[in-house]
Structure 1
Amino acid sequence: MKRDRWAVAAIVLGLGVLQGCTVEDPHVLHEGPSDPTPASECAGQVAGRSLEQSLASVSRLAREHPDVFTGLSVDEDDRAADVYRVPSADFDAGVCGAAGKGVTLRLYDTDVNRGELEALAGRVSADMHRWDGTFELREVGVDERGWVHVGVDDPRAAREVVVGEFGGEHIRVVEVEEASAD
Protein backbone atom coordinates (compact mmCIF):
# COMPACT_ATOMS: atom_id res chain seq x y z
CA MET A 1 0.00 0.00 0.00
CA LYS A 2 2.77 2.44 0.91
CA ARG A 3 4.54 1.79 -2.39
CA ASP A 4 1.26 2.35 -4.28
CA ARG A 5 0.73 5.70 -2.59
CA TRP A 6 4.27 6.78 -3.44
CA ALA A 7 3.65 5.84 -7.06
CA VAL A 8 0.45 7.85 -7.07
CA ALA A 9 2.23 10.85 -5.53
CA ALA A 10 5.02 10.59 -8.11
CA ILE A 11 2.52 10.46 -10.96
CA VAL A 12 0.47 13.30 -9.54
CA LEU A 13 3.54 15.45 -9.15
CA GLY A 14 4.94 14.57 -12.54
CA LEU A 15 8.43 15.05 -11.13
CA GLY A 16 11.30 12.59 -11.16
CA VAL A 17 12.72 12.18 -7.68
CA LEU A 18 16.11 10.53 -7.42
CA GLN A 19 16.48 8.49 -4.24
CA GLY A 20 19.48 6.95 -2.52
CA CYS A 21 21.93 9.84 -2.23
CA THR A 22 22.24 11.19 1.28
CA VAL A 23 24.62 13.57 2.98
CA GLU A 24 26.01 10.64 4.96
CA ASP A 25 26.93 8.70 1.82
CA PRO A 26 30.68 7.98 2.10
CA HIS A 27 31.06 8.09 -1.69
CA VAL A 28 29.85 11.69 -1.99
CA LEU A 29 32.71 13.94 -2.97
CA HIS A 30 30.72 17.16 -3.18
CA GLU A 31 27.76 17.63 -0.91
CA GLY A 32 26.01 20.56 -2.54
CA PRO A 33 23.27 22.46 -0.74
CA SER A 34 21.44 20.74 2.07
CA ASP A 35 20.06 22.22 5.23
CA PRO A 36 18.50 19.63 7.53
CA THR A 37 16.37 22.27 9.25
CA PRO A 38 13.26 23.49 7.45
CA ALA A 39 12.91 27.24 7.03
CA SER A 40 9.27 26.86 8.06
CA GLU A 41 6.55 24.28 8.60
CA CYS A 42 2.87 24.35 7.73
CA ALA A 43 0.39 22.32 9.73
CA GLY A 44 -2.57 21.71 7.45
CA GLN A 45 -5.93 23.23 8.27
CA VAL A 46 -8.09 22.24 5.28
CA ALA A 47 -10.61 19.66 6.49
CA GLY A 48 -11.17 16.63 4.29
CA ARG A 49 -8.03 17.10 2.17
CA SER A 50 -5.79 14.02 2.06
CA LEU A 51 -2.02 13.92 1.71
CA GLU A 52 -2.44 13.05 -1.98
CA GLN A 53 -4.80 15.98 -2.56
CA SER A 54 -2.38 18.28 -0.74
CA LEU A 55 0.44 17.03 -3.00
CA ALA A 56 -1.68 17.59 -6.10
CA SER A 57 -2.15 21.22 -5.00
CA VAL A 58 1.59 21.60 -4.42
CA SER A 59 2.19 20.16 -7.90
CA ARG A 60 -0.15 22.77 -9.40
CA LEU A 61 1.65 25.52 -7.50
CA ALA A 62 5.00 24.18 -8.73
CA ARG A 63 3.82 24.53 -12.33
CA GLU A 64 2.57 28.07 -11.60
CA HIS A 65 5.87 29.05 -9.92
CA PRO A 66 8.63 27.30 -11.91
CA ASP A 67 11.05 30.09 -11.04
CA VAL A 68 11.02 29.08 -7.34
CA PHE A 69 10.10 25.39 -7.14
CA THR A 70 13.04 22.99 -6.72
CA GLY A 71 11.56 19.66 -5.65
CA LEU A 72 9.49 17.62 -3.23
CA SER A 73 9.83 14.44 -1.23
CA VAL A 74 7.04 12.58 0.56
CA ASP A 75 7.06 11.15 4.10
CA GLU A 76 3.91 9.01 4.17
CA ASP A 77 4.52 7.64 7.66
CA ASP A 78 4.26 11.14 9.11
CA ARG A 79 1.69 12.41 6.55
CA ALA A 80 4.19 15.05 5.53
CA ALA A 81 6.15 16.35 2.58
CA ASP A 82 9.36 18.32 2.24
CA VAL A 83 9.08 21.15 -0.27
CA TYR A 84 12.35 22.57 -1.57
CA ARG A 85 12.10 26.01 -3.11
CA VAL A 86 13.77 29.35 -3.60
CA PRO A 87 12.13 31.41 -0.82
CA SER A 88 8.98 33.16 -2.06
CA ALA A 89 6.20 34.60 0.09
CA ASP A 90 3.55 33.92 -2.60
CA PHE A 91 4.60 30.33 -3.21
CA ASP A 92 4.96 29.62 0.52
CA ALA A 93 1.50 31.01 1.26
CA GLY A 94 0.01 28.87 -1.50
CA VAL A 95 1.75 25.74 -0.26
CA CYS A 96 0.69 26.32 3.33
CA GLY A 97 -2.87 26.97 2.22
CA ALA A 98 -2.88 23.65 0.30
CA ALA A 99 -2.14 21.44 3.30
CA GLY A 100 -4.96 19.25 4.50
CA LYS A 101 -5.77 18.82 8.18
CA GLY A 102 -3.24 16.42 9.68
CA VAL A 103 -0.73 17.02 6.84
CA THR A 104 2.56 18.79 7.50
CA LEU A 105 4.46 20.56 4.74
CA ARG A 106 8.06 21.45 5.59
CA LEU A 107 9.62 24.22 3.48
CA TYR A 108 13.37 24.15 2.78
CA ASP A 109 15.39 26.96 1.24
CA THR A 110 17.39 26.39 -1.94
CA ASP A 111 19.10 28.79 -4.31
CA VAL A 112 18.14 27.09 -7.57
CA ASN A 113 14.90 26.08 -9.27
CA ARG A 114 14.00 22.77 -10.87
CA GLY A 115 14.35 24.05 -14.44
CA GLU A 116 17.92 25.18 -13.85
CA LEU A 117 18.77 21.81 -12.32
CA GLU A 118 17.18 19.91 -15.20
CA ALA A 119 19.14 22.04 -17.69
CA LEU A 120 22.38 21.28 -15.82
CA ALA A 121 21.54 17.56 -15.72
CA GLY A 122 20.88 17.69 -19.47
CA ARG A 123 24.27 19.28 -20.16
CA VAL A 124 26.04 16.65 -18.03
CA SER A 125 24.09 13.81 -19.73
CA ALA A 126 24.86 15.15 -23.19
CA ASP A 127 28.56 14.62 -22.46
CA MET A 128 28.07 11.00 -21.38
CA HIS A 129 30.69 9.55 -23.75
CA ARG A 130 33.05 12.51 -23.61
CA TRP A 131 34.63 11.10 -20.46
CA ASP A 132 35.23 7.56 -21.81
CA GLY A 133 38.64 6.38 -20.66
CA THR A 134 38.68 8.73 -17.64
CA PHE A 135 35.59 7.43 -15.84
CA GLU A 136 32.24 5.88 -16.68
CA LEU A 137 29.23 8.17 -16.31
CA ARG A 138 26.47 5.81 -15.13
CA GLU A 139 23.59 8.05 -14.14
CA VAL A 140 22.57 11.67 -13.94
CA GLY A 141 19.47 13.00 -12.22
CA VAL A 142 17.97 15.91 -10.37
CA ASP A 143 17.73 15.57 -6.60
CA GLU A 144 14.76 17.40 -5.11
CA ARG A 145 16.98 18.96 -2.45
CA GLY A 146 18.72 21.22 -4.97
CA TRP A 147 21.50 19.48 -6.84
CA VAL A 148 22.31 17.22 -9.75
CA HIS A 149 23.33 13.69 -8.80
CA VAL A 150 26.15 12.42 -11.04
CA GLY A 151 26.77 8.70 -10.57
CA VAL A 152 30.09 7.34 -11.82
CA ASP A 153 32.35 4.33 -11.45
CA ASP A 154 35.32 6.35 -10.12
CA PRO A 155 34.26 9.49 -8.22
CA ARG A 156 37.81 10.61 -7.49
CA ALA A 157 38.66 10.73 -11.20
CA ALA A 158 35.28 12.20 -12.14
CA ARG A 159 35.00 14.94 -9.56
CA GLU A 160 37.76 17.14 -10.90
CA VAL A 161 36.62 16.76 -14.49
CA VAL A 162 32.86 17.16 -13.92
CA VAL A 163 33.15 20.00 -11.43
CA GLY A 164 35.79 21.66 -13.61
CA GLU A 165 33.48 21.54 -16.61
CA PHE A 166 30.11 22.31 -14.99
CA GLY A 167 30.97 23.93 -11.65
CA GLY A 168 30.44 22.35 -8.29
CA GLU A 169 27.75 24.50 -6.75
CA HIS A 170 24.83 22.21 -7.64
CA ILE A 171 26.56 18.91 -8.43
CA ARG A 172 27.17 15.84 -6.30
CA VAL A 173 29.51 13.24 -7.71
CA VAL A 174 28.89 9.80 -6.21
CA GLU A 175 29.99 6.24 -6.84
CA VAL A 176 27.31 3.91 -8.21
CA GLU A 177 27.49 0.28 -9.18
CA GLU A 178 27.10 -0.76 -12.79
CA ALA A 179 23.49 -1.59 -13.65
CA SER A 180 22.72 -5.26 -13.96
CA ALA A 181 19.88 -7.13 -15.63
CA ASP A 182 18.87 -9.01 -12.46
Structure 2
Amino acid sequence: MDSKARSVAAALALAVLPVAAAACGTSTSGGPGQSPGSRSSSHSPLPDQSALASAAARIDAHLRRSFPDHYAGVEIDPSRSVVIVYRRPSSALDADLRARFGDVPTRLHDAPHSARELDRLAARLRDDTGYWRERGVSITSLAVRPDGTAVVVGTDDVAKATRELPRRYGRAPLKIIHATPQLPTSPP
Protein backbone atom coordinates (compact mmCIF):
# COMPACT_ATOMS: atom_id res chain seq x y z
CA MET A 1 0.00 0.00 0.00
CA ASP A 2 1.54 3.35 -0.98
CA SER A 3 1.77 6.30 1.39
CA LYS A 4 -1.24 8.09 -0.15
CA ALA A 5 -3.44 5.03 0.27
CA ARG A 6 -2.16 4.60 3.86
CA SER A 7 -3.04 8.21 4.62
CA VAL A 8 -6.52 7.92 3.18
CA ALA A 9 -7.09 4.66 5.05
CA ALA A 10 -5.81 6.27 8.25
CA ALA A 11 -8.08 9.27 7.79
CA LEU A 12 -11.09 7.05 7.27
CA ALA A 13 -10.18 4.87 10.25
CA LEU A 14 -9.72 7.93 12.45
CA ALA A 15 -13.18 9.16 11.53
CA VAL A 16 -14.68 6.64 13.91
CA LEU A 17 -12.03 6.75 16.62
CA PRO A 18 -11.75 9.54 19.16
CA VAL A 19 -8.48 11.42 19.04
CA ALA A 20 -6.70 11.58 22.37
CA ALA A 21 -7.28 14.87 24.11
CA ALA A 22 -3.55 15.30 24.54
CA ALA A 23 -3.02 15.27 20.81
CA CYS A 24 -5.58 18.02 20.37
CA GLY A 25 -4.20 20.30 23.03
CA THR A 26 -0.51 20.30 22.13
CA SER A 27 1.68 22.64 20.14
CA THR A 28 -0.11 24.54 17.47
CA SER A 29 0.49 27.44 15.22
CA GLY A 30 -2.19 28.99 13.15
CA GLY A 31 -1.52 30.85 9.97
CA PRO A 32 -0.99 34.58 9.76
CA GLY A 33 -3.57 36.39 11.83
CA GLN A 34 -4.58 33.24 13.71
CA SER A 35 -3.89 32.39 17.29
CA PRO A 36 -2.26 29.02 17.97
CA GLY A 37 -4.76 26.20 17.68
CA SER A 38 -7.43 28.37 16.12
CA ARG A 39 -9.77 27.14 13.44
CA SER A 40 -8.95 28.24 9.94
CA SER A 41 -12.63 28.41 9.09
CA SER A 42 -15.58 30.09 10.73
CA HIS A 43 -18.12 27.81 9.03
CA SER A 44 -20.16 25.34 11.00
CA PRO A 45 -18.87 21.75 11.31
CA LEU A 46 -19.56 19.27 8.55
CA PRO A 47 -22.74 17.30 9.20
CA ASP A 48 -21.23 13.83 9.60
CA GLN A 49 -17.99 11.98 10.13
CA SER A 50 -17.93 10.43 6.65
CA ALA A 51 -17.99 13.93 5.14
CA LEU A 52 -15.18 14.93 7.49
CA ALA A 53 -13.17 11.84 6.52
CA SER A 54 -13.72 12.60 2.85
CA ALA A 55 -12.55 16.19 3.36
CA ALA A 56 -9.48 14.95 5.24
CA ALA A 57 -8.63 12.60 2.37
CA ARG A 58 -8.93 15.47 -0.16
CA ILE A 59 -6.78 17.73 2.01
CA ASP A 60 -4.19 14.97 2.40
CA ALA A 61 -3.98 14.30 -1.34
CA HIS A 62 -3.71 17.99 -2.22
CA LEU A 63 -1.11 18.92 0.40
CA ARG A 64 1.06 15.84 -0.29
CA ARG A 65 1.15 16.85 -3.94
CA SER A 66 1.46 20.62 -3.53
CA PHE A 67 3.53 21.01 -0.35
CA PRO A 68 5.62 17.83 0.06
CA ASP A 69 8.40 19.54 2.02
CA HIS A 70 6.00 21.00 4.58
CA TYR A 71 2.98 18.73 4.88
CA ALA A 72 3.09 16.02 7.57
CA GLY A 73 -0.40 14.52 7.82
CA VAL A 74 -4.00 14.82 8.95
CA GLU A 75 -6.08 13.45 11.79
CA ILE A 76 -9.75 13.78 12.51
CA ASP A 77 -11.08 14.89 15.87
CA PRO A 78 -14.67 13.60 15.74
CA SER A 79 -15.55 15.08 19.13
CA ARG A 80 -14.96 18.56 17.71
CA SER A 81 -15.79 17.73 14.06
CA VAL A 82 -12.48 19.13 12.89
CA VAL A 83 -9.64 18.02 10.62
CA ILE A 84 -6.25 18.53 12.25
CA VAL A 85 -3.57 19.39 9.68
CA TYR A 86 0.05 18.88 10.72
CA ARG A 87 2.67 20.77 8.77
CA ARG A 88 6.06 22.37 9.05
CA PRO A 89 5.29 26.08 9.33
CA SER A 90 4.51 27.55 5.92
CA SER A 91 2.41 30.64 5.31
CA ALA A 92 1.94 29.53 1.67
CA LEU A 93 0.52 26.15 2.76
CA ASP A 94 -1.73 27.80 5.33
CA ALA A 95 -3.08 30.31 2.79
CA ASP A 96 -3.63 27.58 0.18
CA LEU A 97 -5.47 25.41 2.71
CA ARG A 98 -7.79 28.30 3.64
CA ALA A 99 -8.40 29.18 -0.02
CA ARG A 100 -9.13 25.62 -1.20
CA PHE A 101 -10.75 24.11 1.89
CA GLY A 102 -12.24 27.12 3.68
CA ASP A 103 -15.53 25.27 4.18
CA VAL A 104 -13.79 22.50 6.16
CA PRO A 105 -13.26 23.13 9.88
CA THR A 106 -9.51 22.71 10.45
CA ARG A 107 -6.86 23.23 13.08
CA LEU A 108 -3.24 23.76 12.12
CA HIS A 109 -0.47 22.19 14.19
CA ASP A 110 3.27 22.47 13.72
CA ALA A 111 5.19 19.29 12.87
CA PRO A 112 8.93 18.66 13.14
CA HIS A 113 9.12 16.54 9.96
CA SER A 114 7.26 16.30 6.67
CA ALA A 115 5.48 13.15 5.53
CA ARG A 116 7.99 12.95 2.67
CA GLU A 117 10.90 12.78 5.14
CA LEU A 118 9.23 10.17 7.30
CA ASP A 119 8.02 8.12 4.30
CA ARG A 120 11.65 7.93 3.10
CA LEU A 121 12.81 6.80 6.53
CA ALA A 122 10.04 4.18 6.68
CA ALA A 123 11.02 2.93 3.20
CA ARG A 124 14.65 2.63 4.32
CA LEU A 125 13.59 0.64 7.37
CA ARG A 126 11.35 -1.56 5.21
CA ASP A 127 14.28 -2.20 2.85
CA ASP A 128 16.47 -3.07 5.85
CA THR A 129 14.17 -5.66 7.45
CA GLY A 130 16.35 -8.52 6.19
CA TYR A 131 19.43 -6.82 7.63
CA TRP A 132 17.71 -6.54 11.00
CA ARG A 133 16.34 -10.08 10.93
CA GLU A 134 19.92 -11.38 10.45
CA ARG A 135 20.90 -9.43 13.58
CA GLY A 136 18.04 -10.74 15.70
CA VAL A 137 15.77 -7.69 15.48
CA SER A 138 12.39 -8.54 14.02
CA ILE A 139 10.61 -5.49 12.62
CA THR A 140 6.94 -6.43 12.74
CA SER A 141 5.33 -3.13 11.72
CA LEU A 142 6.11 0.35 10.44
CA ALA A 143 3.89 3.41 10.47
CA VAL A 144 4.44 7.10 9.84
CA ARG A 145 2.83 9.26 12.51
CA PRO A 146 0.51 11.84 10.93
CA ASP A 147 1.73 14.47 13.40
CA GLY A 148 5.18 14.38 11.78
CA THR A 149 7.00 13.31 14.93
CA ALA A 150 8.31 9.85 14.06
CA VAL A 151 8.23 6.56 12.26
CA VAL A 152 6.73 4.00 14.63
CA VAL A 153 8.71 0.75 14.53
CA GLY A 154 7.00 -2.33 15.93
CA THR A 155 9.23 -5.11 17.20
CA ASP A 156 9.04 -8.01 19.62
CA ASP A 157 12.32 -6.92 21.29
CA VAL A 158 12.05 -3.24 22.17
CA ALA A 159 15.22 -3.15 24.29
CA LYS A 160 17.42 -4.61 21.53
CA ALA A 161 15.86 -2.46 18.80
CA THR A 162 16.26 0.65 20.97
CA ARG A 163 19.97 -0.13 21.32
CA GLU A 164 20.64 -1.22 17.74
CA LEU A 165 18.55 0.96 15.41
CA PRO A 166 20.22 4.28 16.39
CA ARG A 167 23.59 2.77 15.46
CA ARG A 168 22.38 2.53 11.86
CA TYR A 169 19.99 5.49 11.64
CA GLY A 170 21.59 7.96 14.03
CA ARG A 171 19.18 10.47 15.52
CA ALA A 172 16.39 9.60 13.10
CA PRO A 173 12.93 10.18 14.57
CA LEU A 174 12.00 6.62 15.55
CA LYS A 175 9.43 5.54 18.13
CA ILE A 176 10.02 1.90 18.97
CA ILE A 177 7.07 -0.05 20.37
CA HIS A 178 6.30 -3.65 21.23
CA ALA A 179 4.32 -5.29 18.43
CA THR A 180 4.33 -9.00 17.73
CA PRO A 181 3.33 -10.43 14.37
CA GLN A 182 -0.32 -11.40 14.27
CA LEU A 183 -1.95 -13.93 12.03
CA PRO A 184 -5.45 -13.19 10.83
CA THR A 185 -8.08 -15.25 12.56
CA SER A 186 -10.17 -17.60 10.47
CA PRO A 187 -13.91 -17.24 10.52
CA PRO A 188 -15.69 -19.81 12.74
Greater strand share, 1 or 2? 1
TM alignment of 1:32-181, pairs within 5 A: 36-40=26-30, 41-45=38-42, 51-52=52-53, 54-55=55-56, 56-57=58-59, 59-97=61-99, 98-100=101-103, 103-132=104-133, 133-146=135-148, 147-181=150-184
Structure number with the bigger relative contact order (C-alpha 8 A, sep ≥ 6) is 1
TM alignment of 1:6-25, pairs within 5 A: 14=8
1:16/1:58 CA distance change after superposition, 3 Å:
closer
1:48 shift after superposition? 9.7
Unaligned residue ranges in structure 1 (runs of 5+): 1-9, 24-34
1:44 shift after superposition? 1.8
> Would you say the 8 A contact 2:154–2:179 is kept in 1?
yes
* Distance in 2 between residues matched to 1:121 and 1:48, nearest whole Å: 34
| Identity in percent | 22
1:168 shift after superposition? 3.2
1:37 shift after superposition? 2.6
TM-score (norm 2): 0.70
1:54 shift after superposition? 4.1
Write the deviation string for residues 58-111 of structure 1: whole angstroms up to 9, x where unpaired: 5323311111111111123321111111100010122234132xx531211123
* Distance in 1 between residues matched to 2:70 and 2:9, nearest whole Å: 15
Unaligned residue ranges in structure 2 (runs of 5+): 31-37
1:178 shift after superposition? 2.2
Indicate the RMSD between aligned Cα atoms, in angstroms.
3.3
One-letter amino acid of the counterpart of residue 171, structure 1? L
TM-score (norm 1): 0.72
SS in structure 2 at match of 1:131:
helix
